[in-house]
Amino acid sequence: MSSSQVYLKKARYGKDKVKVMKVYRDGKWQTCVELTVALTLEGDIETSYTEADNSVVVTTDTCKNTVYIMAKRSANVDNIELFAQEITEHVLKQYKHIHVAHVQIIKHKWSRMLIDGELHPHSFVRDGEDVQTTHVTQYRDGNKITIESGLKNLLVLKTTGSAFHSFYRDEYTTLPEVWDRIFSTSVDATWRFESTKPSVLRHQVNFPEVHASVKKITMDTFAKDDSASVQATLYKMQQQILRDNKSVGEVDYSLPNKHYFGVDMSKFKIDNTDKNLDVFQPVADPSGLITATTARKPAAKL
Catalytic residues: 15, 60, 259
What does the alpha-carbon distance between residue 98 and residue 140 come to, in Å, rounded to a whole number?
8
Note the Cα 159 to chain centre separation in Å. 26
Is 205 known as a binding-site position? Answer: no
Is 202 known as a binding-site position? Answer: no
Is 230 known as a binding-site position? Answer: yes
Is 124 known as a binding-site position? Answer: no
What does the alpha-carbon distance between residue 194 and residue 246 come to, in Å, rounded to a whole number?
9
C-alpha closest to that of 15 among 67, 54, 53: 67
What is the helix, strand, coil percentage profile of the chain, to 5? 30, 40, 35
SS3 145: strand
Is 207 known as a binding-site position? Answer: no
Is 164 known as a binding-site position? Answer: yes
- Written as one letter, the residue type at 296 is R
What are the start-end ranges of the H helices in the chain?
Answer: 46-50, 60-73, 80-94, 198-203, 207-224, 230-244
Is 131 known as a binding-site position? Answer: no
**Which residues belong to the annotated binding site?**
60-61, 164, 181, 230-231, 257
**Which residues belong to the annotated binding site for O2?**
60, 257
**Which residues belong to the annotated binding site for 5-hydroxyisourate?**
60-61, 164, 181, 230-231, 257
